Structures are given as structure tokens and as C-alpha cells.
Amino acid sequence: MREHEQDIEQTDSLDPVESEIQMTTANLTEGLHLIEKMLLILEKIDSNEERVSTTKRGIKKLLVSYEKILRERKTLTRQATLLAYMKPSTSKYLRLTLLY
């Protein structure tokens, strides 16, 4: 009984906001890369191609939501980079327009 209560308390204390490790783009990329690496190891050590193929398909299907998050973050990063690149020229153009 006491152990069960301690388990519940420990679970409650695992607040993702308080966690030291955040789901950054770099961490997500690294995690997905490591999983892909492990799948390659399974492919090398298991001679049963059907089992490996089924396992890889199943795991990749489970990872779709994380891959979607990663794509969205990379797209946002590219957009922010483009906007930062465009801002100086836009503001320069506006200043020149206002001067005339």
C-alpha cells in the first residue's frame, strides 16, 4: 500500500514543465536519429526480414506525430530566418520611401 502511494507521488512529481530535459528541435532530432540507428542494428542482427520489416513499419507509424512536430519546427525556423533576412531590406525601403 505504501509503495503504491510512493509510486503515485513520484508520478505526480514528473511534471514536464519542471523536467530538466525539454523537447527542443535538437533533442527531438537526436532522439529520432537514435531510433533509426537502433532499427538499422536490428536489421543487421535479425535474419528474419519479414519480422524486421513489420517492426520497422510499426515503430515508424508510432513516430509519425514526433516527425510531424519536427517538420513543423523546422518550417517555422526557416520562416523566421527568411523574415529576419527580409526585415532589413524592408525597413531600408520604408525609410527611403518616407524620405522622399
Average pLDDT over residues 9-23: 60
CB half-sphere exposure, 8, CA atoms < 13 A: 5
Average pLDDT over residues 8-29: 68
- Contact (CB, 8 A) for 29 and 70: yes
- Contact (CB, 8 A) for 15 and 53: no
6-37: buried (b, 16+ CB within 10 Å) or exposed (e) per residue?
Answer: eeeeeeeeeeeeeeeeeeeeeebeeeeeeeee
CB half-sphere exposure, 61, CA atoms < 13 A: 6
Who has greater pLDDT, 86 or 88? 86
**The pLDDT of residue 11 is above 50:** no
Q: Would the pTM of this model clear 0.85, i.e. be above it?
A: no
